Chains A and B, each alone.
Chain A
Amino acid sequence: MLNAINARATDISRLINLLALLGLVVVIAGSLDLQFGFGEQPCPLCLVQRSGMIGLAVGPLLNLLWGMRPAHYAISILAAVAGGAGSVRQILLHIADPADPGYGPAVLGFHLYTWAFITFLIGTVGCALLIMWTAPFDAADNGVLRTPSHARALTIGALGVITWVTIDALIIGLAVLPECGLGPCPDNPDPGPAAGDIGGALLMVGVGIVSIVIGYLLDRRFSNRLASLTRGPDTATEDDHG
């Protein structure tokens, strides 16, 4: 009975972490779409916020890969504080002067740094609430690879979104080099090459689709390995004879 309750709590907790990670991927992909689709190069404060956003994603990523731990949520909260410091700094810079139009385009009425601040705030509140729910911590959860979920789609989705975050983090990191080199970044960087409205969106959706395919392949590989481990040598011999 207790095991069934723990397994259910683990699955629900994994789903929440997966959705949180997916939300973060959408925010990160949106900023990358502006960069590669419209040529909007990120400013230094924007890069600090991107670093905070990746840090925010590390908590759910570790929860899904290693199992639910309060320390993982703590990493996300601390990352939200670091990234939030960057976005608050940028908001204050631009509201100080009423004639200041802000940096970059507004999306749904808010600039990206305001959206980043809202994301960090939601992340902090969400992590604080999830730490209060102790049932997933009591379960013997070792992550989606070692203790797969009852719903296979959850494991495939988790591995896909984790791959998506990793690829986006790689793209963000590599895109810094041509803009800033190894030194500090320019305060107002020149616009970069733009793939266009549809080109940028296609690029981001393409990364998402490739990630889900990689997630499916990873799930197949690890579930086969787990099955052969649980089957054991005795059963394998019976199968061979049978």
Chain B
Amino acid sequence: MMFSMFVVWIIVFVGAFQRRRWTVPVALANLVWTLVVLNLHMTDPIPLNF
């Protein structure tokens, strides 16, 4: 799951080197995926009691 984030970054880098138009949308999609992965790993509650 975590591995997939970095695979997509490498795809973004390849797109950047080849000046592909899909590079920016794929980068944005990977940022959304990063937040999804973060949410999946937020298992512990934070007892801050503000």
Contact = CB atoms under 8 A, between A and B. Distances in A.
Nearest to B1: A184
Interface of B, secondary structure class, is helix
Contacts, number: 103
Contacts of A82: 31, 34-35, 38
Nearest to B12: A58
Given A48-B38, A93-B44, A96-B46, A176 B6 contact: yes
B22 to A, nearest CB: 13
Nearest to A78: B31
A51 B13 contact: no
Q: Which of B34, B42, B47 has the most CB of A within 10 A?
A: B34
Interface in B1-50: 1-7, 9-10, 12-13, 16-17, 19, 23-24, 27-28, 30-31, 34-35, 37-38, 40-44, 46-48
A65 B13 CA distance: 11
Contacts of A170: 10
B41 A173 contact: no
A187 B3 contact: no
Interface of A: 44-45, 47-48, 51-52, 54-55, 58, 61-62, 65-66, 71, 75, 78-79, 82-83, 85-86, 89, 92-93, 96, 166, 169-170, 172-173, 176-177, 180-185, 187
5 contacts: A86-B38, A169-B10, A176-B2, A180-B3, A182-B1
8 tightest CB-CB pairs across the interface, nearest first? A173-B6, A44-B41, A51-B5, A51-B34, A48-B38, A176-B3, A82-B31, A82-B34
